[in-house]
Structures are given as C-alpha cells and as structure tokens.
Chain A
Amino acid sequence: MSEQFSRRDFLKLAGLGAATTAVLTGCGPASRYVKREPYMEMPEYTATGQSTYYATTCRECAAGCGLVVRTHQGRAIKTEGNANHPLNLGKTCARGQASLQGLYNPDRVTDPIKAGSPLPMDWDAAIQVVADALKNNKPEEVAFLMGMAPDHLFDLVSDLAKETGMNAPIRFGALGMFEARATLSQAAGNLFGEAGLPYFDVGGAQVVLSFGANFLETWLSPVSYTRGFTGLREAQTKQRGTLVQFEARMSATGGKADEWIPLRPGTEALVALAIGKLAAEIKGGAMPRAFAGVDVLDAASKSGIKLETLEHIAGMFANSAGALAIPGGAALGQSNGLEVAEAVLALNALADNFGKPGGMSISALAPDQTEYHRPASAKEMQDFIQKMAGGKFKVLFVHGVNPFFELPNSLGFHSASKNVAQLISFSTFRDETAREANYVFPDHHGLEAWGYQRVATGAMQPVLSGAQPVVSPFYNTRATADVMIAAAQLAGGSFAQALPYADEVEFLQTKVASLLGEADGSFSAPNPQTFMAYFQQYGGWWRNMDGRVAPSASGALNRSIKGDMAEFAGEGEFFFIPFVSPTLAEAGANKPWLQELPDPTTTVMWNTWLEMNPETAHELHIENDDVVRVVSDAGALELPVYVYPAIRPDTVAMPFGQGHTAYGRYAEGRGVNPNDLLGQHFNEAGDLAFAGMKVKIEKTGKKRPLSRLESIMGVYGEGLGEEH
C-alpha cells in the first residue's frame, strides 16, 4: 500500500470491496427470506456497511412498476425505479417512493386476529379456520374479493375456483371505478370488435385532446404516461407537442395543458363529435357516419365552448400528422360515459392513428395471457353485493382491497356484509375491512412478499413483473398464497388437488417456468431454478417485441354515435366532480409523508376540501376554509371550501382518498369520503356515473382552516380554530 494513503482512505477502500450497485438476488431455494439479524451476525451476503439491492414490483397501485429497493443490514432504506423495467424505466411516483412508510407503518396487523378475542390466534388455528370455511360450505357459497392487480394470488385463487366450483375471484378497486375501465374496454369492443384496454402513445403524438383523462395523476399507469408526456413536449426530432384538456375542473393534468377548455359537464360526447365533424370537413371526403348526426352550433352552445375555439381545435387535430384523442376520468363516469368513450375513440379512427407512433392501440397482453381480464365494474359489484345481501355467500375472503372504504355507501356493502356468516380479511393494515371482519389473517406487506404481476397497460412489451421479499417479514404475518395452499391441503379432496404445492414459491416457480422455453424473452435460462433466479434478479420477464395491437379501423367510423347530453341525478344546482387525489389515491392515506405532500393543484395537505369557483363563492358569501354541507340524493358531507380559480362556476369538486374511519393513526378521522355522496347511477358499460350527480351547497357557519403550502400568511391571524 502506498504511503500516500491515509488511514481514512484505507478504511473507505476497505469498505468498498463489492460493487455496491449490483442488484443481487440473494435468494436461492435455500434462502427464501432475507433475515433481519443483529449487527453481530449478518448473513454472509450482507456485508456490514454495504447496501444490498433487490428488484421487485411496486404494489401501491395496480400499474405494476418495477422497483429496486436499497436495503441495509436487512432493513429497507429506499425504493427506486428499476431502470430495466419496460413500464417505468427507473422512475417512480410519490406513492412508490412512500411505500416504505407502509412497510414500517406503526398500524399494521401484527398477528392473526379473531374478532372479539383479546388474544391473537396462532397460524395453525387460522389455517384451520380457512380450511373449514372451504370444506364445510358449498363451493358456490364461498367468494373471494381481490384488489385490481392481476397477480399470482389471483391466479392461485382462480385455479382453486376452477377445480372446486367455488365462485371465480372478483377484482375491484376504487381506482378502476374512477378510471371507468369497463367503459374504456367496452367502447373499444364496440368500435373494434375486441375488448382490450386502449393504449395511447402520448409520447409520439403532436396534438393530444384529452377528455377528462387525468393521465399525469393516477390514470391507468401514471409513471408511464408521464414519460409519454415528456416525449410529447421534449422530443428532439419533432416540434413541441400540444395538449388540450376538456374538463370542468382543472386537474393537475389540465394544469399542464396548453389549452384548458372548461366545458359543461355532460357535453363531452357532443363536443368530441363536433370536433370530429369539423375535422372531417377539413380533411375532405365523405362525412363519416359517426360524426354526421351532430349539429356543431348546438354542440357549441350546449357545451359553452365558443365555435371559434372548436374550429381552431378541430383544425389543429385535422392538420396534425400525430393527432391523438384520449377519453378518461369524469368524462366517462356519467350516464352517457360509453358514448363519450366511443366518440373520442372515433376521433382516433378519423386521425387514422391506429397502431402508429403517437397513436392509439390495444395494450399488450401479459406474456401468459390470451385475453384482457378487466377488474369488476361498479354494476358487477352491485350484483355481487346483492348476492351477499341475499345470503348467497357464507364465506367472503377479502384481499388487496378495502371495500368498506372504496365502494360507495349507497351500494350497501356494509349492510350486505352482515348476511355473510364469515368475513375473512387478509389485510396488512388495520383498515375498515379488517375492523368489520370476523377474522383478519394478515398478509405480508408487498415488499416482504413473493409474487408476480401482469402489466395491464403502459408498456410496449408484454410484461410479467416479478416480486420478491426485500426484507424478512416484520411481524407474525403470512403470505395469503401460503395460507390458501396450506388450507387447501388440510381441506383435502379437490381443494388439495387444485393446489398441489409445498408453498407459494413453488407455485410461482411452476407458473413462471411455463415461460422457460420462450425464445424472444428478456432472458433465457437452461432450467427452472436459474430462470427463477433471473426472474427475481431482473424484476420480471418481458418479450422483446411490441405487443400492442392495432385495432381494425374499418367499422369505427361507420357506426352512428349518439351525441346526447348526460343526465344528472339529484336536485342541486351544482355539478359534482369527485376525483382521485393525485398523491393519496385510494390507499395512501396511512402514509404520513403522502399526507404531507401538497396536492399538486391546491397545495392542501392532510385533509379534504371542496373546490369552488371564486365567483360562486362570492355570490354565496363563502370564503376559504368555510365549512359547507354538500347534499346529494344519496348523502351529505361537511367539509371546508377551497376557493379554486380553475373550475366552472356551476361545478364543485372534491378529492377521493381521505375520510377513513379506520386504517391507522395517520388516516383515521381525517377529511371526508366523496363515496358517501355517490348514488347508484351507472353508465351503459356498468361503470359508476360518479360524475353524474348534482348537489346542493348549504352554509354551516363553521370554519375549519386547511393546511396548505401556499399563502400561509394569515393563517397565524386565524389560528386553527377551537375545534382542532
């Protein structure tokens, strides 16, 4: 060693033996779990002072982004995006970043619990309960409600259901409800004869017309769509692209638009068809049947958009080589949502962009998938709840979803659950469902768990994203797949035949091994063990091909599309738009740092607010922070007003994400849940018409200051009020 080396340098060098950035699998069959050891005795691959990195899949929403988690002495320290993963290319959203606050949340379920019993159960007894529930009931009396993610557990339960005649598992999530996924795929089915999930290549486009799609926030696959947005604005080889957003309330996505068009809610279909008609006139040729029936002047007057504006947008759309139209969000959650989706997708047919760069296509199916399987619509959930209420189910298993919070009150899940003899929740957190359940058999947190997940949309390639534990389970929790396998073995008969596996990992290996022989994959391996090791190391497997399908354009324009206005339920004078909080989404409220992230548009933290136009507020003598009562035909809520400059005077809006009555100290008793205002109104595709209501606003005379990042001056003068 040279004399120039100081002792400090030596110590630094000595600590840097291994490359710190390599992603390790560390998990041969012999070591399935990363042990959290005292510093004295670390596992041999965990060098003191060195970080170990594990690739896995983010479980904060159903998009399925790849993560690489930095761990240090067996603790997870930081999540980053997996740069190899085709969906997110190394990027993450705020929810992915904060997932560690879920893992180390102080309000997790630590042991299996029986309701009413002060002592925790042991897992043998818990598995016996599940086995009895399977065995002692008729198969059709057992139901499984799951989260939106198409993951390995969904496959496992589907296998079980197929073999035993149990009800096929149902996937549901509030995000899917507010995205109106069923409407999107049914519109695609109606126009192209193939009901897939549309994919919009924002990045390659020049002019994007978005009808309410909040694709930079929570919509479908926000990280991937944000990358697309960067492409729209930044590509070196083309001009800066233009985004036009049609919505009554400016979303964070609308805030980034070059033109924000506050149209009257319910006129989206009409406006899309009018733009189609004007654009078709500019393009020349025969007028497509889809647009022929619409009266442009009528559309302009009904929607409140100036004719010149419509003509100017239609001109941009018709003359651009990269025109794209996206339907989404509140535009689809109305009585005529299906027509809106069809009208907007027809614009893409007019632009002739199917399967082209900057155009629309049908999302790539996952490697092992033959058809798109969408989550349940709200209407299907209503049928499900009616069966529950009718006593058709004796046992209901709930995993990965919090129906007591995520479903509108009016659908009656709460009362229907009383008619289910046994409600068994697998919740990781003490949420509303866990509180109501007869048993809670806690699953590991996503970062402690094995698995895989299909990427439903957002990536060009067919992707099966892989998950592995990055830390050993912190509490006495058990993988739900392991519980089901053990219970099925115990129940015997067809149950045992359906799941002939030793444990979850064997199940995964069996499923994933079917990809072993594929030639065009991101990697190949000589045997299943090596394949599985690579699968963990790379965070999944994907085909090196463009799996998106160009829909056939032939029929899309020859169908007449009705341009009726949406119908609104309720007596009130204000249109009501609930939107998913971009930072909290449906399950972020228990993570304190997500609570403390300012909302991108209002900068409000830790609460729920009602957005109201300044003019309207002035007329009603309402100021910022005044508590109002919002009354719909399904319920009423009290919450403070945020005077919002970018919303129509006839519209009010409210974020979804707060209003928990359980779910831990950071979520509980905070804000309100707009689901309480939503009635049983559906569109033709069975999605909830969540933006199809009118509400009344009543003053209460109370005040509740909101914490916000902006304009904190003046808060000192007012204080936070006595009630706080």
Chain B
Amino acid sequence: MMATLSDLKISEVKLSGKEAGKWGMVIDQDICTGCQACVAACAMENNISFVGEEDAGYGRSMHWIRIERFWEGEYPEVKMTPNQPMMCQQCGQAPCEPVCPAFATVHSMAEELNLQVYNRCVGTRYCANNCPYQVRSFNWRDYERPEPLPNQLNPDVTVRRRGIMEKCTFCIQRIHRAQDQAKAEGREVVDGEFTTACAQACPASAITFGRTDDPASLVSQLMKRRSHGVKHLEELGTLPNVTYFKGG
C-alpha cells in the first residue's frame, strides 16, 4: 500500500498520485473580467436555488462557482487582484471524501470526479468543513421557487432540498450526454464537442474544459503552452484538476 500522506514530502506526493485526472479545467485569471456570467450560467444549468438577501448575508448562498477578488495596497496605489473563479477543484485526493459517514461524497472511478450523491447525503456537513477550497454549499432550507419559475428546471439535474450538500459537478450531466451521443454514433467524444455551462457562457473565454489525459486536447495544450499554471493549495496534496493562469 501507499504510504500515508504525512509520511511523504510534498514532491513525493506529486509524483505518487496520478498527476493528471481525466477531466480538467484551465482558468486564465488575466482575462477573467469578473462579470458573473459563469455564476449565472451555472445556476441556470444546475437548478441552483437562490436564497434571498438575509440568508445570502449569512453566507448561505448556494453558488457552485464564485469569483474571488482581493485588494492589494492602499489608495491611490490600490489594485484589484486578478479575478479568481473558484469552484470544486475535483481533487484527485479529495479531503471531502474520506470524512463522509454516509458515502455521499465518493470518487467516480469512471470519470475521476468527486461525486455528491444527494440521496445518500444526511447533511453532516463534514465534507464542507474539510474542503480547503470552501466550495461546497449546504441547503439550509427548502428555498422557495414560486410558480412558474420551476418551468426552467433542467430535467438532467436533480433538484435538491433541505439538508443536502451540493457542489460543482463539472456538469457531469453534459459529460454523460456527450458520451451517450458519441456512443450512439459509434465514436469517441471529441474535444470541444461539449463544455461546462460556465465555460460555454464565459464572454472572455477565460475558462476551458476538457480531457487532461489527452495530450491533444485544448486544456492539455494550454497547460503545456503556458508554463505558469498554478494549482491552488497544491501543497496539501489534494491533486486539484483545475489549473489557474495568474496572468501578466
């Protein structure tokens, strides 16, 4: 068996785990304008509830993707740091997974993604507590969606209710739809044939999604062409599948 994480030095962790997962995302912070189109697109695609002003103020908003920006310096030398879209990093070794007592946060062997099985989730919130990226959101209530708003619900995505944890899935419903389509036509899924809702909407084309295990895919090419990619909190050994270009 593999040594436990604490026995290994950081460089060894990088070597021992599978460096590239199956699906990955590349985000160029230099061109992200922070316009929130990805946030809206994600909410529309994934049937995410809105929570209202008060709950949002308490940090209970359900965004699966958020745009972080920080300030550097003081007026007049103040600078906004490059916008940083943050969503589930689909870790290769995910801290959220081992802590779930109900096996609701499991790793998909087929897609190498972190799954959230809604009908197993009992709402302990251990996973959110253990996520170093703080990208999981919890349904504190059954949020109201008055008629006729439910007409826009995406039939490919489960609607969640109170007491359930949820998070970015890399739009797994789109992955499956593309795979089914390709299978029906007797071929492999082609790079760029589909993408996640956030990447599809992004007016700046700052988000690129695809197969990181395929050296010919656009994400792999981008990662190779631009050597300054960064993975967040890489030192924790989580093996995130989202690469950020810090820009400049």
A91-B201, A106-B147, A230-B206 as given contacts; A596 in contact with B57, CB under 8 Å: no
- The answer, among B44, B61, B69, B180, for a CB contact under 8 Å with A78, is B44
Docked-complex contact B181 and A78, CB < 8 angstroms: no
Residues 15-69 of B contacting A (Cβ, < 8 Å): 28, 30-31, 33-37, 39-41, 43-45, 50-54, 56-59, 61, 63, 66-67, 69
Docked-complex contact A97 and B183, CB < 8 angstroms: no
Chain B residues, Cβ within 8 Å of A596:
43, 50-52, 56, 61, 63
Docked-complex contact A597 and B149, CB < 8 angstroms: no
Interface Cβ pair total, 8 Å cutoff: 208
Q: Is the C-beta of B154 less than 8 angstroms from some C-beta in chain A?
A: yes
- The answer, among A93, A594, A606, for a CB contact under 8 Å with B52, is A606
Closest B-chain residue to A712, C-beta based?
Answer: B59
Docked-complex contact B45 and A226, CB < 8 angstroms: no
Chain B residues, Cβ within 8 Å of A600:
33-36, 67, 69, 83
Give bound CA distance, A648 to B35, whole Å. 23
Chain A residues, Cβ within 8 Å of B45:
78
- The answer, among A16, A98, A256, A583, for a CB contact under 8 Å with B180, is A16
Docked-complex contact B66 and A79, CB < 8 angstroms: no
A94-B36, A596-B61, A720-B54 as given contacts; A229 in contact with B204, CB under 8 Å: yes
Chain B residues, Cβ within 8 Å of A635:
none
Docked-complex contact A79 and B53, CB < 8 angstroms: no
Task: Give the number of chain B interface residues (Cβ < 8 Å).
Answer: 61
Docked-complex contact A91 and B78, CB < 8 angstroms: no
Q: Is the C-beta of B120 less than 8 angstroms from some C-beta in chain A?
A: no
Q: Map CB proximity to A onto B105-123 as digits: 1 under 8 Å, 0 otherwise.
A: 0000000000000000000
Chain B residues, Cβ within 8 Å of A20:
177, 181
Q: Is the C-beta of B216 less than 8 angstroms from some C-beta in chain A?
A: no
Contact-size category for A: 35 or more
Q: Is the C-beta of A408 less than 8 angstroms from some C-beta in chain B?
A: no
Docked-complex contact B59 and A93, CB < 8 angstroms: no
Q: Is the C-beta of A564 less than 8 angstroms from some C-beta in chain B?
A: no
Nearest-Cβ distance from residue B95 to partner chain A, whole angstroms? 21
Q: Is the C-beta of A621 less than 8 angstroms from some C-beta in chain B?
A: no
Q: Map CB proximity to B onto A602-639 as digits: 1 under 8 Å, 0 otherwise.
A: 01011100000111000000000000000000000000
A92-B37, A262-B76, A593-B40 as given contacts; A233 in contact with B30, CB under 8 Å: yes
Chain A residues, Cβ within 8 Å of B163:
none
Docked-complex contact B201 and A222, CB < 8 angstroms: no
Docked-complex contact B200 and A90, CB < 8 angstroms: yes
Chain B residues, Cβ within 8 Å of A217:
35
Q: Is the C-beta of A315 less than 8 angstroms from some C-beta in chain B?
A: no
Docked-complex contact A706 and B204, CB < 8 angstroms: no
Q: Is the C-beta of A480 less than 8 angstroms from some C-beta in chain B?
A: no
Given contacts A104-B149, A234-B31, 17 further A-B contacts (CB under 8 A): A13-B183, A76-B152, A79-B44, A88-B203, A91-B205, A94-B36, A94-B41, A222-B203, A250-B80, A593-B43, A595-B53, A598-B36, A601-B69, A601-B80, A605-B61, A646-B78, A665-B146
Listed from nearest, the 7 A-B pairs whose CB atoms lie closest are: A707-B57, A606-B53, A255-B80, A712-B59, A97-B40, A600-B34, A94-B40
